[in-house]
A and B are shown apart, each in its own frame.
Chain A
Amino acid sequence: MKEKIGKLGYRGIFTMIVIMAMMLLPFGKEYFLMACTLVWMAVQSITVIRGKESVRKKYHKLDLLILIFLVYEILHMICRMIWADEGKGIDYNRNILLISLALLYFLCAEAKFFSLIYLDVIVYAGLIAMGVLLYLYTCDMSVAFLLGGLTEDTAGLAAFLMLPGMVSVLLYCRCRNDMQKWFYGASAGISFFLLLINHNRVSLWLMVFFFMMVPICIRPTAELIKRDMQMFLLYALMLCNMSLLCNYTNLLLVDISYDLEQSVYLELVLAAGALFFFHYWDRMPEGFPLDRIVLRRLYRKYQFVVCIMFCFFVFMLLGSNGWSSLTGDKGIALLSNFAKPLGEEIAQSRSFLYVCTEEQGLLTLAGLLLILVSVIIRMRKNIGWDKPITTSLYLIVIFGIVQCFIWNLCVNVLPVYLILAVDAMNYKEEKVRFAGIKVRELKRLEDQLKQKNEEEGEKDEKKDNQKEKCV
């Protein structure tokens, strides 16, 4: 899957330009995206007219839906231009963004091609931005202009940091050489650290969910779970020690507070989880490569943990207003301290869908919801345990969609999520098929083989002895 850039063609190059520009441009992203999609469309039209390429023949309902949405958005923008109050300054950025995204969908859908280089580009671009952020938080706050106001919006920054973090974790789980492991591990580590400095509680929860979801969506081989757990423990280690970093050092220039008591309880929970995990890991059969062992029982336990976490999350959100009035012993106070800020954070945040409805009306909301549901359905048809890359893309996009319901997703990541969603829907990944067998049975078979070999050996020996006697 490591295609060279030359093989990507103009589509691949445009895709990479869009990803890099969206993640790194400090201002004018909407206009750049619009210009880029228009140029891309022109190039594609020329190649189709010249007969070098053909337009795809099969269209889906989703295409029709997005086409209607595109027309509606264009009409909406024209209407705003004509009937707008002259004295009132109108912001067309949202219109431009939605139109560009719809165009980008059609351009990417034509490609039906995906390369892991796109994910690498996300990591590299994210690394540059994260380097600037790291410098900003530890050395000099005056370089914030390089990120174009991204630091002013905690939720937007969290969404921005989560993307390279998630991609790095997934690439870490599937990379093969040690150098790549270090690279993706370091990249993921930096994004975790910045997420923790950003101190958006929802993003911290979402990352934990992500770690738990990886072995559920992707084939839960022992190797995958091991690497996922390595990343999770790195994240947890940072989370537990943030209180020490904030309270006892002057490393950070930003003022954030982590409760020391809560981090101690968290460490206890982690220690208990680690005990269970290592106890389970001891039962792993020896002598088999880890990437061939599928831990189905652990997979079911992961499902259980995710369910529990989801219920707990919903429970905390439902009681968000009541947590402050709750009094009792230390445990209840701890839970209240934990849940109250989380509920407040969610209550204060304005989701992407909310902002779109506020600016564009109910029709836009309905259109976006329909599109999101259709995208999820289309993606589900194309995933499976035998398609690890597509499933990884699906996982990232699902977390992007969830963020749409919580935060006002910034323009830095929206086009990137769209590109990944289109790839997850259309990528024809070669299926990796496996023959499965239980360990217990395998051992029995090995014993049978040994017995057979021994019996045959004995028979041969007997025959040889008889021959010798005859001779």
Chain B
Amino acid sequence: MKKKIIKKKSVFKLWILMAMVLCFLGNSPLLLQVRAQEQTVEEKNQIMTAKDSIEALAEPVEQAESVHTYEAGDSVFVTGETANGWYQVTYQNVIGYVPVSSLTEMELDVEGLDEEFRVEEEEGKLVVEVVERKRAEIKRARIWGTIIVVLVIGIFALGIFSAIKANKADKEEQDGDKIKEPAINETKETGKSDAEGTREDSMETELKTDQTENKKSEITDEIMDLDQE
């Protein structure tokens, strides 16, 4: 009987010891961490505002170390909410926890934000357009500059070549004139009398008296004869 009673007592002691060990383990930080990790976090993805200056803790427990400090009025990006009244927040890829009571929901002006995004987008487009336009202008200026330079140089060269050519032609003409007999330059000017008497005429021709051209000189001679008559 005694043996049975001793056995029961030892079993009871064992149970108490185990319970104590379990209690000890249950209150240890390691177990807390495991428990915290096991806690489910409801996904939120929302921007909220800090009421006062708050510390974001590494764990959703008050004893956890601080990872970041938010000042009053700061925007806080909330990624989730734990069941025990903590918000999971993110700051520069570091996850932290703040009490639910320390944050308030931000009143978002969605239309204003949309407008802001649109304006920013347009500005971006405008900047791109301006840069592209500038680039195109520079390109165009280069092309036109080249064209203008080539054009002016070309016209210059053309002028010089043409002057040389004209000089040569003049020289040849002068040489030809020297070989041939001098042309008759003394002729009768009939400009005034013509102008007076030919109002009804549509046009006139004036022939330079030049013996080098046989046909024309023939016509001219006849004219001269008639004029004299």
Contacts and interface: CB of A to CB of B under 8 A. Distances in A.
A437 B201 CA distance: 11
Q: Which of A135, A186, A296 has the most CB of B within 10 A?
A: A296
B206 A436 contact: yes
SS of A interface (majority): helix
Interface in B200-229: 201-209, 218-220, 222-224, 226
Contacts of A251: 144
B25 interface: no
Given A128-B152, A436-B204, 5 more contacts: A177-B162, A180-B163, A183-B162, A297-B202, A437-B204
A445 B203 contact: no
A442 B163 contact: no
Contacts of A433: 185-187, 189
Interface in A117-146: 120, 123-124, 127-128, 130-131, 134-135, 138-140
A285 B220 CA distance: 17
B166 A177 contact: yes
Q: Give the size category of A's interface with B.
A: 35 or more
A434 B152 contact: no
Given A127-B156, A134-B148, A438 B201 contact: yes
Interface string A176-194: 1101101100110010000
Q: Give the size category of B's interface with A.
A: 35 or more
B209 A435 contact: yes
B207 A296 contact: no
Contacts, number: 156
Interface stretch (B3-11, B90-98, B116-124, B190-198): B190-198
Contact of B166 (A123, A139, A180, A436): A180
B177 interface: no
Q: Which of A127, A295, A437 has the most CB of B within 10 A?
A: A437
Contacts of B148: 131, 134-135, 138-139
B166 A175 contact: yes
A292 B205 contact: yes
Contacts of B170: 2
Contacts of A177: 162, 165-166, 169
Interface in B169-191: 169-170, 185-191
The 4 A-B pairs of least Cβ separation, nearest first, read A179-B162, A131-B152, A139-B141, A180-B162
A294 B203 CA distance: 7
